[in-house]
């Protein structure tokens, strides 16, 4: 993928994630949601090459579904262990943030395909 396109894609996904973060994260759970979204954002940046959007004649619906499945698999394989500074609520929030990122990726990918 062209480096300009990669930077553009990453920047747009990052903006989408930032817009959907809890602005007033006043609880461990909400802080966890924000951490989960950050983890998803960083994971996407690290693996952006997997989400190459080809200009093939493949059905748009199939292309979107394949990219969504690939992203979901990537997020589902992340292992988040309980750290000493993570409460149970924070850890649950992290997983909620990761799940939320899947829906956000679905919105995001429809714009680019």
Q: Write out pLDDT tens, residues 46-76.
A: 999 887 665 555 688 888 899 999 999 999 9
DSSP-assigned letter for residue 79: -
Determine the pLDDT at residue 110. Answer: 85
Pick the closest to residue 76 from 50, 51, 102 (CA basis): 102
Residue 1 has pLDDT above 80, yes or no: no
Q: What average pLDDT does the segment 5-19 reach? A: 93
Determine the pLDDT at residue 103. Answer: 96
Please, are residues 43 and 75 in contact by the beta-carbon 8 Å criterion?
yes
Residue 12 has pLDDT above 60, yes or no: yes
């Amino acid at each position: 993928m062209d480096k300009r396109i990669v930077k553009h894609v990453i920047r747009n996904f990052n903006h989408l994630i930032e817009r959907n973060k809890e602005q007033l994260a006043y609880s461990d759970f909400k802080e966890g949601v924000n951490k989960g979204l950050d983890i998803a954002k960083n994971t996407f940046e690290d693996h952006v090459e997997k989400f190459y959007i080809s200009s093939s004649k493949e059905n748009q619906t199939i292309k979107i579904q394949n990219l969504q499945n690939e992203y979901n698999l990537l997020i589902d394989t992340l292992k988040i262990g309980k750290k000493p500074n993570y409460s149970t609520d924070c850890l649950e929030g992290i997983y909620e943030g990761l799940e939320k990122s899947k829906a956000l990726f679905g919105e995001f990918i429809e714009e680019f395909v």
